[in-house]
Amino acid sequence: MNKPVSISISSMPDIANRELPEEKGTLDWVGMSDVHQPLKVKDGNEMKEVQAKVQVYVNLADPNAKGIHMSRLYLLLDEHSNTRPLTASGLRMLLGSVLESHHDLSTNAFVEFSFDHFVRRKALLSENSGWSSYPVSVKGTLINGEIALELSIEVQYSSTCPCSAALARQLIQSQFQKDFGPSGQIDKEDVQAWLGLEESIVATPHSQRSTAKVMVSLGEEVGDLPITDLINRVEDVLKTPVQSAVKREDEQEFARLNGENLMFVEDAGRRIKNSLDKQSRFDDFWVRIEHHESLHAHDAVGVFTKGVENGYLPIP
């Protein structure tokens, strides 16, 4: 069996370092996407293990260079994930390392981690609990010496239409009038029994699973990642997040919460906006709310930002 030929690393060709003879030019971003990477995430004071998909890029600022060094990006990403948890401060460090690895070719850097974030949730009333999953992305950019960090989450909740609820109440009132008529005095027990009949409650309002997509710009003082805290803030103001473990008493409580929190998409948007406006840790925010209508074949959508100068644009 022939032995492999031994070649020194210094003598191996490095095509990326060669100058281009023609078609010179710069590129905004070059790098890798869909890199599968297990890592730990510092979620507030809690450490969690996730399976992330990562994008990592630098710009090609040297018009004479043939290309960047992909292996450097991968090895830096792998080293970072193996030696420290993902935090806001750690991501700032990683961006600096990525840019330093291409100091002769690049001036900007970009890294994004996307993963499913699991939180153990108690049932509304019963003693059960289950896992809730939230899509999360953490993105960092280093452009012209300025670092910007963004945290994005998605929260699913139930929205019950206020208009549909009013129309349903009107039909129930009409059915009540039809069944009892102008009989004067009505026995309390008869009314209570009537309310428990399926044929008495002739209409119910429509509700639908809805999604709040929230992106926040993290301030310079933020060290860890407030993932669960941001999720909780959104769910706390909406009041009707979707559930995991559900028994009959939990389903009844969920029905009560929906009845107490009738929401058009505008109502849900104002609730979230007012809550995020109070958070000093978030320099800016962009939110898209989607009510996946059960009445219509289209969705109801709301989009808004904090409205700061040179901040996020309210683009859907």
293 pLDDT above the threshold of 70: yes
- The contacts of residue 65 (CB under 8 Å, 6+ apart) are 16, 17, 19, 20, 105
Can you give the pLDDT at residue 11?
65
Instruction: Give the C-alpha separation, 162 to 173, whole Å.
Output: 17
213 within a domain of the structure (yes/no) = yes
The 10s digit of each residue's pLDDT in 89-102 is: 999 999 999 999 99
| Model pLDDT, residue 23 | 72
| Residue 74 included in any domain | yes
Inside any domain, residue 185: no
Whether 219 is covered by a domain: the verdict is yes
Does residue 210 sit in helix, strand or coil? strand
For residues 191-207, give the mean pLDDT. Answer: 96
Q: Which of 133, 52, 109 is nearest to 86 (CA)?
A: 52
Q: Which two tokens stand for residue 100?
A: 């330093």
Candidates 176, 26, 193; CA nearest to 105 is: 26
**pTM flag (> 0.85):** yes
**Nearest CA to 304 among 282, 285, 276?**
285
Question: Mean pLDDT across the stretch 265-273?
Answer: 98
Average pLDDT, the chain: 93
**Domain-embedded: residue 8:** no
The per-residue pLDDT for range 209-238, each reduced to its tens digit, is 999 999 999 988 898 999 999 999 999 999
In a domain, 4, yes or no: no
Which residues, at least 6 apart from 226, have a Cβ–Cβ distance to it below 8 Å? 43, 44, 151, 281
By residue range, what is the domain housing residue 114?
24-162+205-305
Q: Say if 90 falls within a structural domain.
A: yes
Domain count for the chain, please give it. 1
Within a domain: 310: no
Indicate which CATH number applies to the domain containing 225.
3.10.270.10
Cα separations (Å) of 19 from 13, 25, 76, 91, 107? 13, 11, 25, 32, 18
